[in-house]
Chain A
Amino acid sequence: DAKTTQPPSMDCAEGRAANLPCNHSTISGNEYVYWYRQIHSQGPQYIIHGLKNNETNEMASLIITEDRKSSTLILPHATLRDTAVYYCIVMGGGGADGLTFGKGTHLIIQP
């Protein structure tokens, strides 16, 4: 059972903001939203995570809706090196576990 829904692919022009949506309508109150990306068969890379509040780090911003049923990852100034598959993952509940990767969104940055 998929916990998240993401568009299979998206394009974005270099230098523009890339906004990647994720639906997680069945998220529980103690579950976090994580974003990872994988650049062409490299190891996945952690980007950001959040619980309720919006979060920002040096890589990206994470906007979580008030009802927590969806979120958006924002890459503020996309570069060609941001071309990758982006995975939105919901997990938590106080216990450790492995990440459950869906199919993700293949983001292609166009020059």
Chain B
Amino acid sequence: DSGVTQTPKHLITATGQRVTLRCSPRSGDLSVYWYQQSLDQGLQFLIQYYNGEERAKGNILERFSAQQFPDLHSELNLSSLELGDSALYFCASSVGQSEPYEQYFGPGTRLTVT
């Protein structure tokens, strides 16, 4: 158990819909990261927040957005969903925002878009 929690575990929705994935970091961690893992693209970094502020962006689509709240939990919003958005979405957390640091991953949310 990494100490990072993600809800829900599974999500099935239709194309065009919008969903929200939630992540609670380990106690004391200020950074939250979001990753997408699909069969064809592998594990890809989407976005990072540090203490409520966006810190780094990866391959995140414009239809996707995220935020980190004052209690440090984070939400990833996916809108206008397409079949290709079906994937595992992982959240990770770390203590700080600069090297060296290790990231601790949650169990993931499996999103299926039909």
Contacts and interface: CB of A to CB of B under 8 A. Distances in A.
Interface residues of A, number: 26
Contact of A103 (B2, B42, B97, B107): B42
Given A32-B99, A43-B2, A96 B107 contact: no
A46 B103 contact: yes
A45 B45 contact: no
Contact of A44 (B55, B100, B105): B105
Interface stretch (A4-12, A14-22, A70-78, A87-95): A87-95
Chief secondary structure at chain A's binding surface: loop
Contact of A97 (B35, B48, B106): B48
B48 A98 contact: yes
Given A43-B107, A44-B90, A96 B48 contact: yes
A102 B97 CA distance: 22
Interface of B: 2, 4, 31, 33, 35, 42-48, 50, 55-56, 58, 88, 90, 92, 96-108
Interface of A: 30, 32, 34, 38, 41-46, 49, 51, 87, 91-103
